[in-house]
């Protein structure tokens, strides 16, 4: 019995099949933003149908790149691609494939993936942050993902780290995402995040804003560990060394909260592993009913 795992992002999307805790198939494609929702649904249906001819799957788990109403299992919206507002993606997938489906936002899925299979194993509470096209956060407790009263817990990307900073797409100013995510780094500096992270002088300034955001997570949650995933986290020690130093400088002097900040261990697959766990949950819930 296999599980189909989907990671749907604004820049790229991935699909994978998992069987007995191993990934058996994986495919990544660029997201056609112009194509919007319909294009994405065609892609997902195509991959699912093709794989199914060789390997049947019994549930689907989804990590979606945008806010998700977990209780209603609906996409609230995609911050980068049109047409997703209020969409019942699990319902659509259920109709397409005839199997149970469970969806969460990609940061919560990433927290599940890293927390159960990656750099956050055994570390609870775990704070996971994705640092890529955008910035998202997920909180993983002993009992599972902490989503808050309305599914909006962990949204660290829109804390105002520079209240007098440039306008963010969300309507506010100087948000952590506005100052630190890949999309804006490219727009502001005309260089990719990957190039910028190789410039120590840039990183020294960059970690000041990044640490302001993470300080909030540390002061509020006192996590046992912070795992950072997403493309920018691949910069490794060139980023994490200066980041830890800056966090130590910024954290309130009397706080003894640990500063344990590490890159994701699952690379580009944190969200897929989390989606696999969501798929397993969907399957178990159905078996109970
Ligand atoms: Zn914002």
What is this structure's pTM?
Answer: 0.96
- Does 56 score more than 80 pLDDT? yes
Q: Show the domains of the chain with their CATH numbers.
A: 2-105 (3.30.420.40), 119-265 (3.30.420.40)
Concatenating the DSSP letter of every residue in 68-126 gives EETTTTEE---SSSTT-TT--HHHHHHHHH-S-EEEEEHHHHHHHHHHHHSTTTT-SSE
Dihedral of the CA atoms 39, 41, 44, 49 (nearest 10)?
-110
State the CB neighbour count (10 A cutoff) for residue 177: 27
Check: CB of residue 127 under 8 Å from CB of residue 223.
yes
- Does 236 score more than 80 pLDDT? yes
CA of 105 to the centre of ligand 1 (A): 17
CA of 251 to the centre of ligand 1 (A): 23
Average pLDDT over residues 5-24: 95
CA of 169 to the centre of ligand 1 (A): 6
CA of 145 to the centre of ligand 1 (A): 23
CA of 160 to the centre of ligand 1 (A): 7
CA of 281 to the centre of ligand 1 (A): 32
Q: Could you report the per-residue pLDDT of 84-115, keeping only the tens digit for each?
A: 999 999 999 999 999 999 999 999 999 999 99
CA of 177 to the centre of ligand 1 (A): 6
What one-character DSSP code corresponds to residue 173? B
Predicted local confidence at residue 80, as pLDDT: 74
CA of 167 to the centre of ligand 1 (A): 8
Distance CA 238, CA 270 (A): 21
Identify which of 192, 61, 200, 177 has the alpha carbon closest to the alpha carbon of residue 129: 177
State which residues have CB under 5 angstroms from ligand 1, the bound ion. Answer: 158, 168, 170, 172, 175
CA of 178 to the centre of ligand 1 (A): 6
**Does 263 sit behind a cis peptide bond, omega within 30 degrees of 0 on the bond before it?**
no
Q: Could you report the per-residue pLDDT of 238-262, keeping only the tens digit for each?
A: 999 999 999 999 999 999 999 999 9
């Amino acid at each position: 019995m296999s599980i189909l795992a989907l990671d749907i992002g604004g820049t790229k999307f991935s699909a994978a099949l998992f069987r007995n805790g191993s990934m058996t198939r994986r495919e990544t494609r660029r997201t056609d933003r112009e194509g919007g929702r319909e294009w994405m649904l065609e892609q997902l249906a195509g991959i699912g149908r093709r794989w199914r001819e060789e390997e049947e799957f019994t549930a689907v788990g989804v990590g979606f790149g945008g806010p998700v109403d977990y209780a209603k299992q609906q996409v609230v919206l995609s911050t980068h691609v049109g047409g997703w507002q209020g969409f019942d993606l699990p319902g659509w997938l259920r109709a397409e494939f005839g199997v149970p489906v469970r969806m969460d936002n990609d940061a919560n899925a990433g927290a599940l993936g890293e927390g159960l299979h990656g750099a956050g194993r055994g570390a609870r509470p775990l704070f996971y942050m994705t640092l890529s096209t955008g910035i998202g956060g997920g909180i993983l407790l002993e009992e599972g993902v902490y989503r808050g009263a309305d599914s909006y817990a962990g949204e660290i990307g829109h804390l105002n780290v520079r209240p007098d900073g440039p306008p963010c797409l969300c309507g506010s100013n100087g948000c952590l995402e506005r100052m630190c995510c890949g999309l804006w780094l490219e727009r502001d500096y005309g260089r990719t995040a990957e190039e910028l992270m190789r410039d120590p002088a840039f990183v020294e300034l960059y970690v000041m804003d990044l640490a302001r955001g993470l300080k909030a997570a540390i002061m509020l949650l006192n996590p046992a560990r912070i795992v950072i995933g997403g493309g920018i986290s691949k910069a490794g020690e060139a980023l994490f060394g200066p980041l830890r130093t800056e966090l130590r400088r910024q954290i309130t002097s009397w706080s003894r909260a640990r500063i344990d900040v590490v890159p994701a261990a699952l690379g580009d697959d944190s969200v897929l592993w989390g989606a696999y766990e969501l798929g397993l949950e969907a399957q178990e819930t159905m078996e109970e009913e």
